[in-house]
Amino acid sequence: MRSLAANPLLLTILALMKRQGVTLPERRVELYQRYIETLIKHWNLARGLAGRPEKDLDLLDTLRVLQPLALWMHETSPGVGLVKEGDLDRELQRIFAGRKERDPEKAAHQFLADVREHTSLLLDRGGRQYGFIHLTFQEYLAAAALAQRGQQEVEPIMTALSSHVGEAPWREVSLLTLGYLGLVQQRDQAAGAVLGELLERSPGPAGEAAILAGEAVVDMGRGVIASDCRERIVTALLTTMRDDRHVRAVRRAAAGKALAVLGDPRFDLDLWWLPKEPDLGFVEVPAGSFLMGNDPEEDPESNKGEQPRPPVTLPAFWLGLYPVTVGQYGGFVEASGYDPERPYWR
């Protein structure tokens, strides 16, 4: 939502939705759906104020045109979202012809004129090129079009997503497609089937399919995807994170980030999120002696504060093998009553 609020017009419509009493959904895919519904309603209002005699635009009919149009635009110009007016007109005619419109050319011209005059969803960007007001809405509508392809079976969705795994311009479309299946269409089994196939086929660069699946489940939130599918994704993320031979560091980090939200099974919730290991992720350092400081003959850059080098003997102690996580620190604060605002050293 933060990226939408950075655009003044989008922020205005978000504020309008809030003022009208519309509860803003927590999940992105549902928010985008509400947003587009609001735009189309205002489109109808603008037509009425302009004295247009035509009937109001039907929400579903309008979406049935915008969705395949957005998918075509994303395929034509991924990540950019600009297409020439002539190409746009021809694609609209093709869409209306597929809908058995009596006069596809007239319908396409009217639709494009309405877009140009009364809605901010599709804009003339200059130079006779058109694009959506925000790339996010092209991505959302393209995702909705992909989800519609899988009404009978998920293979068309799987084929489309597999061909673009690892491609940055298609990442949001892929995530939103899965979110649309699970949240908007409430086809959680279909979403789970696509996620399962992603893990099975593992298309794209090493680890990318597992990360995409993990981020999709994070996006959808709890209770949408079945627990067995969720566990498979967690296992795949663990494997990805540990595979330093085949998976790039940036992808391993992304896998760890998704795993942190979904729940890392290596840590015990009941033991302050410490590792599920015999010694809870600690290793014993045996007692021993060492020389503390630096020898100026060995290190010419040493200073007087590091001299002399007295022998120091320490008792045995335990040291954590891993960095302290936010969850572990939170467990410590809760269990000890420690006040972070009043550090012990003050």
Hey, where are the domains in the chain? 8-138, 151-265, 274-336
Whole-angstrom distance, CA of residue 321 vs CA of residue 318: 9
Which range is least confidently modeled, 7-11, 188-192, 193-197, 202-206?
7-11
Region 228-232: mean pLDDT is 95
pLDDT of residue 9: 62
Q: Which two tokens stand for residue 288?
A: 């021993």
pLDDT 10s digits, 41-54: 766 555 554 555 45
Q: Which of 130, 115, 129 is nearest to 43 (CA)?
A: 115
pTM confidence score = 0.78
> What are the pLDDT digits (tens) for 162-184?
999 999 999 999 999 999 999 99
* Alpha carbons 314 and 316: distance in angstroms, whole number: 7
Higher-scoring residue by pLDDT: 13, 326: 326
Mean pLDDT, residues 306-322 taken together? 91
- Interior angle at CA 232, CA 153 and CA 244, nearest 5: 120
Please tell me what DSSP assigns to residue 208: H
Who has greater pLDDT, 239 or 346?
A: 239
- pLDDT at residue number 5: 61
The pLDDT, as a whole number, for residue 96 is 94
- Specify the residue for token string 């992105």: 28
